[in-house]
Amino acid sequence: MVDLHFPVRRLRALLRGDGGMTTAEYAMGTVAAVAFASLLFDIVTGGTIKDALAGLIERSLEGGEV
């Protein structure tokens, strides 16, 4: 005899199996984004980039070449 409820049970088992994966993936993505933002912040606020941006702005305000 054929069990007609097998596909339904199989689908429910598949859907229940990954309950925590979405939260874990979201958390890892958030941690990675914060780490990347921190790295960019350190680079942009560092002396070399800060001086280059300040020089670019000063030259632009003075009407010099960029």
The domains of the chain are located at 20-62
Q: What is the pTM of this model?
A: 0.47
- Percent of the chain exceeding pLDDT 70 equals 80
Using one digit for the tens of pLDDT, what is the confidence trace for 10-29? 777 777 765 566 788 889 99
Question: Which among 43, 22, 47 is positioned nearest to 35, based on CA atoms?
Answer: 43
Check if the beta carbon of residue 30 is closer than 8 Å to that of residue 37.
Answer: no
